[in-house]
Chains A and B, each alone.
Chain A
Amino acid sequence: NAGVTQTPKFQVLKTGQSMTLQCAQDMNHNSMYWYRQDPGMGLRLIYYSASEGTTDKGEVPNGYNVSRLNKREFSLRLESAAPSQTSVYFCASSENLSGNTIYFGEGSWLTVV
């Protein structure tokens, strides 16, 4: 099992460009998440999906959109990238929302210039 796989691992964008971060899990988990990690700020929740067909905003959703394509895949889209979105993005999944272990992907390093 690969666990949680996200692509790309590294990306440089120009301000105003758009891109989509892809994420897939092979653990048959119901819940999936997107977090961003910035120095001194920990992991902040952008969006999450409790189950296939549902998505909800987290702490910092502005400037992002998500799609829960099916049970395995949960993508994060930046429509018009800004320098403030320079960060490390982690996709994660868990069996469900009720206190189970969250498994993280390896992270995507995004720089917006």
Chain B
Amino acid sequence: GENVEQHPSTLSVQEGDSAVIKCTYSDSASNYFPWYKQELGKRPQLIIDIRSNVGEKKDQRIAVTLNKTAKHFSLHITETQPEDSAVYFCAARDTGRRALTFGSGTRLQVQP
């Protein structure tokens, strides 16, 4: 099955700085890579996703890049704000089960 590794496990930045979270995956046939944000005590919610036929996708302050050759993808948050503080999960779709396999999560803390 798919294996997704996510780094770092915790990340602290100053408000206004950029934050980058990186994930690697094992299944070279995986073709769908979403990112979820989970605020404390809340449910995970999709913030952005990318498919394997695209190298980069942006949505305002958030961007995701995908390197299929290296089997890694990254989340970039620019001009971070305190409300960006949360746990972020990357995921990849397992082509066997066709269900999402999640990374272990990154706790992002944005210091005002």
Listed in ascending order, the chain A residues whose CB lies under 8 Å from chain B are: 33, 35, 40-45, 48, 50, 56, 58-59, 90, 97-99, 101-102, 104-107
Look across to chain B and name the residue whose beta carbon is closest to the beta carbon of A48: B99
B6 touches A42 (CB 8 A): yes
B99 touches A58 (CB 8 A): yes
Q: B46 contacts which of A40, A43, A45, A102 (Cβ < 8 Å)?
A: A102
22 contacting pairs across A/B (C-beta < 8 A): A35-B102, A40-B9, A40-B104, A42-B6, A42-B89, A42-B102, A42-B105, A44-B102, A45-B97, A45-B99, A45-B100, A48-B99, A58-B99, A90-B44, A97-B99, A99-B49, A99-B51, A102-B46, A104-B43, A105-B43, A106-B43, A107-B43
| A-contact bits for B66-104, CB 8 A (1 contact / 0 none) | 000000000000000000000001000100011111111
Q: A97 contacts which of B1, B6, B98 (Cβ < 8 Å)?
A: B98
B93 touches A99 (CB 8 A): yes
- Report chain A residues within 8 Å CB of B46: 101-102
**Chain A interface main SS type:** loop
A101 touches B99 (CB 8 A): no
- Report chain A residues within 8 Å CB of B34: 101-102
Closest Cβ–Cβ distance, residue B93 to chain A (whole Å) = 6
Q: In the assembly, what is the distance between CA of A35 and CA of B51, in Å?
A: 23
- Report chain B residues within 8 Å CB of A99: 31-32, 49, 51, 93
Closest Cβ–Cβ distance, residue A90 to chain B (whole Å) = 7
B12 within 8 A of A: no
Look across to chain B and name the residue whose beta carbon is closest to the beta carbon of A49: B99
A43 touches B43 (CB 8 A): no
- Report chain B residues within 8 Å CB of A58: 97, 99
A45 touches B101 (CB 8 A): yes
- Report chain A residues within 8 Å CB of B51: 99
Look across to chain A and name the residue whose beta carbon is closest to the beta carbon of B33: A99
Q: Which 4 A-B pairs have the closest CB atoms?
A: A99-B32, A97-B98, A104-B43, A42-B104
Q: In the assembly, what is the distance between CA of A41 and CA of B45, in Å?
A: 18
Closest Cβ–Cβ distance, residue B67 to chain A (whole Å) = 19
